[in-house]
């Protein structure tokens, strides 16, 4: 078994394994059975992966609920990251809150209590704002976050899908309460490298914030398992990659209007463009006795510029075993440079 390194979430003092487990698809009945989730959960803890990422909106609360059941049944101690979704007409759950005005930032406290009940725990290790607010300011939300920390219900605070300026605003607002912004979660993987250049990495480096990349395997594409199908990515994944391509945190370099970006074919969906990357990843994998998935995760986890804690989604005991072996080794500087060469397409 790999000895998994422990890392601090930003400067929060909260220590977690260098890799977490994404549970967005742990929604029983929806292409995964509850017994499979329970087995996967046990395998994660056996492998030393006890940091789980969920959200109130995953499966309308069912991801948190099933995780809560696993925690109770297994009994071992775990670290939980979950998320609060600010009000949006696109998200019916946020329209159902009872808080005096559902648009009030205080709805965060109601959402937090709901997550604690579903998870069956009395404290969240990392509480994240799932997306930037459309109403109220980031500072209004961070003021309420600070109340949750002071009430002992939250250990560390994070944000997701925030751009550079929003990350800096959240950090400054929390700093007024003496609380560090611990993490910034963004879509980041070998096919989606904007955070390196759009200011996310710069802000995280400046402010001592850890980066948590979501979709570290590009929803499974980087495992290479679709290569056998002639480079054809299945429709569902294609849609996910397609929207990933839109770069919702707005890459500074990408000045194309949204409509133009929607209708331009993402490079990464083109098998011929993916293949050179797979070839280099394959050579690195062979040199270290690893798989493509392990190379994709290792590339993230061994970033020396900022602290990066990937959270691959895992849906089976086998995937847990594969992904855990992504840690405990490091690719060389030359290998990283070779990846950069083929990614610059």
Q: Which residues bind ligand NAP (CB under 6 A)?
A: 22-25, 53, 130, 160-161, 185, 214-220, 223, 225, 293, 311-315, 319, 322-323
306 vs 334, beta carbon nearer ligand NAP? 306
Annotate 28-96 with DSSP letters as a single string. TTSSS-HHHHHHHHHHHHHTT--EEE--TTGGGGHHHHHHHHHHHHH----EEEEEEPPP-TT-HHHHT
Question: In angstroms, what is the minimal distance from the CB of 93 to ligand NAP?
Answer: 15
Q: Do residues 84 and 112 touch, judged by C-beta distance below 8 A?
A: yes
CB within 8 Å of 232: residues ≥ 6 apart:
226, 271
Q: Do residues 163 and 131 touch, judged by C-beta distance below 8 A?
A: no
Question: In angstroms, what is the minimal distance from the CB of 10 to ligand NAP?
Answer: 16
22 vs 28, beta carbon nearer ligand NAP? 22
Question: In angstroms, what is the minimal distance from the CB of 333 to ligand NAP?
Answer: 25
13 vs 234, beta carbon nearer ligand NAP? 234
27 vs 146, beta carbon nearer ligand NAP? 27
Q: Do residues 309 and 16 touch, judged by C-beta distance below 8 A?
A: yes
Question: In angstroms, what is the minimal distance from the CB of 291 to ligand NAP?
Answer: 7
Q: Do residues 39 and 339 touch, judged by C-beta distance below 8 A?
A: no
Structure-block tokens of residue 217:
């395997």
As a whole number of angstroms, the distance between CA 241 and CA 234 comes to 11
125 vs 322, beta carbon nearer ligand NAP? 322
Question: In angstroms, what is the minimal distance from the CB of 112 to ligand NAP?
Answer: 17
């Amino acid at each position: 078994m790999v000895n998994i390194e422990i890392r601090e979430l930003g400067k929060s003092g909260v220590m977690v394994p260098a890799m977490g487990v994404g549970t967005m698809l742990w929604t029983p009945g929806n292409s995964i059975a509850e017994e499979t989730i329970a087995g996967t959960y046990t395998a994660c803890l056996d492998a030393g992966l006890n940091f789980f990422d969920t959200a109130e909106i995953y499966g309308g609360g069912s991801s948190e609920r099933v995780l809560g059941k696993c925690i109770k049944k297994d009994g071992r101690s775990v670290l939980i990251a979950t998320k609060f979704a600010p009000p949006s007409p696109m998200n019916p759950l946020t329209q159902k809150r009872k808080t005096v005005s559902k648009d009030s930032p205080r709805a965060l406290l109601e959402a937090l209590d709901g997550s604690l009940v579903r998870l069956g725990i009395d404290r969240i290790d990392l509480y994240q704002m799932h997306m930037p607010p459309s109403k109220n300011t980031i500072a209004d939300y961070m003021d309420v976050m600070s109340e949750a920390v002071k009430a002992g219900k939250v250990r560390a605070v994070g944000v997701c899908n925030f751009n550079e300026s929003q990350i800096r605003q959240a950090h400054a607002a929390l700093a007024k309460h003496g609380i560090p912004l611990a993490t910034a979660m963004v879509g980041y993987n070998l096919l989606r490298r904007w955070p390196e250049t759009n200011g996310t990495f710069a802000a995280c480096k400046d402010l001592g914030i850890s980066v948590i990349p979501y979709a570290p395997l590009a929803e499974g594409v980087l495992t290479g398992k679709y290569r056998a199908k002639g480079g054809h990515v299945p429709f569902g994944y294609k849609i996910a990659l397609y929207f990933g391509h839109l770069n919702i945190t707005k890459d500074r370099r990408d000045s194309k209007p949204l409509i133009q970006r929607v209708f331009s074919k993402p490079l990464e969906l083109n098998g011929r463009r993916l293949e050179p990357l797979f070839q280099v990843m394959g050579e690195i994998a062979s040199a270290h006795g690893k798989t493509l998935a392990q190379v994709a995760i290792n590339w993230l986890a061994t970033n020396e510029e900022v602290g990066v804690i990937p959270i691959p989604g895992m849906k089976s005991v086998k995937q847990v075993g594969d992904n855990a072996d992504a840690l405990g080794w490091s690719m060389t500087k030359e290998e990283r440079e070779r990846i950069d060469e083929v990614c610059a397409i």
